Amino acid sequence: MNTSSLASEQIPVENPLSVSFKLILGLYSIIPLCLLIYLADVFFWNDYLKLTLPTSPTHFILFQVLFGTPHIIASAVLLTSNREYLQFFKWKLIGMSCFIILFFGIGSLYIPNKTLYIISVCWTVYHVFKQQHGIGKGVCRLPGWAFYWMLWLSVSAGIFIYIGIFLKNSLDVQELVWVKMIAATLTIGLILSSVLCQRYVKTSFGKYFLWSNTFLIVSSFFFFIQQYYFIAILIPRVVHDATAYIFYVTHDYNKHHKMPQNILYKYARRCNLHVFLVLPLLTFTLTYLLRIYGDDWVNLIMQFFFDTSIYKAITLGLIGYLSLMHYYTEAFTWQVGSPLRRYIRFSK
């Protein structure tokens, strides 16, 4: 999500609802909250959370229903439920779909799974931190070189933190040491760069935003080193996903609150369903059904008609495809000239 110039762009339609920078900044309060939980676990709970929590929050179905997949489905709903968006982006969507099928589908027959996984990790981390830094650029007003320097330090550090967490069982002792050293060096470099770059930020609020993005990496690295892997992944995941959802709900309210412009919101109005509730209810429900029952439903159909089954057709295949498409489309759907941008404005 690239929103760096959104605050200064003249929006051609009246948008009653705005994306609040203060609300987005408030999401970063999860960092001190997790630190308090960590201290309580160390001093009062005898490392209970450290010993019992899984490596990733995705092990909990409740987390999967609330975070991760819902905002990915929401971005797909935004594009596919509005005919003008599909028409505007159709060639990009077709081209990327073909690439995903060829590279991650057919390519998986020849490319090692570990290589594909690392590529996915790099793309995921880039997507997560590009969104937050892109929004931060509109607040901080950093020079171009400083913005990209901070962004790539964050992305590079995040990649090694993710590798250290999710591939730790496949790394030998020396490899894991190198991963931690590289992550530490990049994190320290990010802190020093934040000290140097904050002089370009003219407002106190902008400096808060700059340091909040820095502490996304610092906190993840800290919990990674302390072996609180669950929390290390949880913090950027919650901030990123909740930020994205703020954009989606704001867009849909501004676009459909007066007159529904697609079949989804026309049916919602007939059911007297408030415009705020449409996207969350739809995406959370779809996420639950796909995550819990999707693979079983597909295999039931495949067994009935073809006497065969497909390994994780929904949770790995469909949701994986939607995730990769989401990483791709978010790079341009909110840029200047995109029809979605007409329904977004910022306020402090």
Task: Work out the average pLDDT over 204-213.
Answer: 93
Please indicate whether residue 280 or residue 295 has the higher confidence score (pLDDT): 280
Distance of CA 50 to the CA centre of its chain: 25
Residue 7 has pLDDT above 80, yes or no: no
pTM of the model as a whole = 0.87
Predicted pLDDT of residue 293: 85
Task: Quickly state the pLDDT bin for 1 (edges 50, 70, 90).
Answer: low
pLDDT (mean) for 283-292: 88
Would you place residue 56 in the very low, low, confident or very high pLDDT band (cuts 50, 70, 90)? low
Position with higher pLDDT, 216 vs 302? 216
Most distant CA atoms of the chain, gap in Å: 66
Amino acid 214: pLDDT: 96
| Nearest partner of 198 among 270, 150, 269, 263, judged by Cα | 150
Question: Which is more confidently placed, 174 or 314?
Answer: 174
pLDDT tens by residue, 14-54? 778 888 999 999 999 999 999 999 999 999 999 999 888 87
**3/204: higher pLDDT:** 204
